[in-house]
Amino acid sequence: MKWLAGILMVLLLILQYTLWFGNGGLLRVWQISAMVADQQAENARLLERNQALEAEVMDLKEGIAAIEERARSDLGMIKRGETFFQVIEE
């Protein structure tokens, strides 16, 4: 009877080890859950960035004002009749 209890105890320990540390065990599930949460946060950030870029593209396709603003800020362009002043800081 003692040997049966010993065998059952060893079997229980093996099963517990597999449950906690084996392939697909609880530790691995927790690691994957954390990785999924990180990836979802990254995806949300990228989705927000993509939506902002999409809105900017739509503005550039539809409006002259957006194109003019982009030309002024990125290329330093000015309209006819405007005077350009360059301020040089020391």
pLDDT digits (tens, 9 = 90+) for 4-59: 888 888 888 887 777 777 777 778 888 899 999 999 999 999 999 999 999 988 88
Report the domain count for the chain: 1
Q: What is the pTM of this model?
A: 0.52
Let me know if residue 84 belongs to a domain: no
Residue-level pLDDT at 35: 97
Full residue range of the structural domain in which residue 56 is found: 2-75
Residue 24 inside a domain? The answer is yes
CA distance 73 to 90: 22
